[in-house]
Structure 1
Amino acid sequence: MSAPAVVVEDLHVAYSATWALDGVDLEAAAGTTLGVLGHNGAGKTTLIRTLTTLVQPTIGRVQIEGLDVVGEATEVRRRIGVTGQYAGLDEFLTARENLELMGRLTGLRRTARARADTLIDRLGLHEYATRRVGELSGGSRRRIDLAASLVGSPSVLFLDEPTTGLDPLARTGLWDVVDELTTAGTTVVLTTQYLEEADRLADHIVVLSRGRVAARGTPAELKRIVGGKVLTTTIPAHQIMDLPFTPTTDRIDGDRVRVSVTVDDAPAATELVAHLHRSGIAVTDLDVTSPSLDDVFTHLAHTTGVHK
């Protein structure tokens, strides 16, 4: 088995007296996508900035493809691409000029223009190629910023909330690009606020809370933390006390409330529905589903303090 592309061991990062990261351990296998989830302030961006050599660890070890991010920072930068939360583009240049400039800065020289054209074709950026970046929408800039991070053909790509501001169609297009990259062997480390995105893209997920790892595993493994099935239904508000379980609730109006509970498996869900019927509870909009990452976050919120 090949060595992991990303290794983080006992990582601590302090800002003054505050630990932004407090003992984080994680790995990302080559050619896979690692999703990093967590609430605002959980440490996601600090983690990305440390992995990309912008912040030095206070304590701990970080390696990218076997290279130390402190002692071998220059070589690490040659191997990685980064798309941050804010597009790092020159607003007075066109999309093509930005990509060509990035190519020249990374040492492509005479091939910089050809590389820019290749990425414009690959990401479907023809309609923006000759327009100044300052004239484009935030979502369009994000797509060009992603293209810029790919100019140097990185073997490890860091995406810090890359689809923020994108419409659903553009978001789906970016997901397809990530799939293509990992299929070709690129390792992707992705932070996101969209749980659907992590579920769709990530081979493994790490959940951060207050600078520490609150949970880790594949999407399927994390969903098993919650339970086998999630039963959701709407009942009269005054019948909540009659339920044989303590539900997660979401009030719809003054008279009705949506409740949900997790059970071990489908037979247990069937028995619970039958029990509600026998008890005379006025059930409507009944739904039995497998857990989602949203359910995982709700569960962790009650057990570890994680919140969206």
Structure 2
Amino acid sequence: MEEQTVLVTGAAGFIGSYVAARLADLGIKVIACDNFNDYYSQQLKQDRVGAMLAPRDIVCHAVELSDAEQVSALFDEHQPGMVVHLAAQAGVRHSLKNPALYVKANMVAFGNVLDECRKCAVRHLLYASSSSVYGANAKVPFHEDDRTDEPISLYAATKKSDELMAYSYSHLYGLPATGMRFFTVYGPWGRPDMAYFSFTQKILKGEPIPVYANGELLRDFTYIDDVVEGVVRLLFKPKVASSGHYPHSVFNIGNQTPVQVREFIGILERVLGTKANLEFFPMQPGDVPATFADISRLRDWIDFTPHTPLEQGLNKFRDWYQTWLEQA
């Protein structure tokens, strides 16, 4: 086992491609994999691989993590010292339409990864959770010690299940494992199903954008560079087992500056120089009224606070988006 070999799952995805690239830039050998599913544009995933992984000589292997044999073969061949598990089926609303896919991609796949981490005695498993686990929690900001046993979407339920499975492996086998509850990550190379991406597309085309709950939902938008910094710092600082405590922990990674969707749209209009045409709809099943990260635990553990202002991050996204369109 090579301790400086890191397996990054979901490496053709938004966060995964950035993390893989950053680790390679640090001189770490990166093993990358993705199943290249068709939840959104496969071409965008291939473009990420071409722009961010290939120049760093990272090969992104096509692996279906819900297939135990494929996962076993991947670990047997590469013997990673650490694992950053970012592969998942994302999207709250889509989980209402295809629940079986979420159980397969987020729970079965993670169970396979967990067991291979146990067999290979990896030094640290870092895995993606979500702010969705807080459900409709009325207490803000959200702290990691808040109750998370009332998920209001299947997507959230699968992410909470991942945390419980990781804790059990930490308890049973001493596996150092750390969960990351991401808060509305955005930026260049992002997912087209996210509001900032789809709103940009529609605004520039003069199409109406859907606004739910009168635009009063609060979201804690977190820029991708801040997320990657948090991920990398956490990777190299696993929790150590002590008397009565297991080497498992969970951290929020958010910008701790939530904005109402109406305000967000106003900023996006300013960034794009174009007014949006709004269509209002009731709050959707599975949506939460607010996300707001308490990042005191993260700051205390890795001495880092996400800090990129929303308008600054959206300006960077706009610049990338315009370039990407020109090259498409």
- Scaled by the length of structure 1, what TM-score is found? 0.30
- Scaled by the length of structure 2, what TM-score is found? 0.29
Instruction: Decide which structure has greater strand share.
Output: 1
**Max Rg structure:** 1
Q: RCO greater where, 1 or 2, for CA within 8 Å and sep 6 or more?
A: 1
Instruction: Decide which structure has greater helix share.
Output: 2
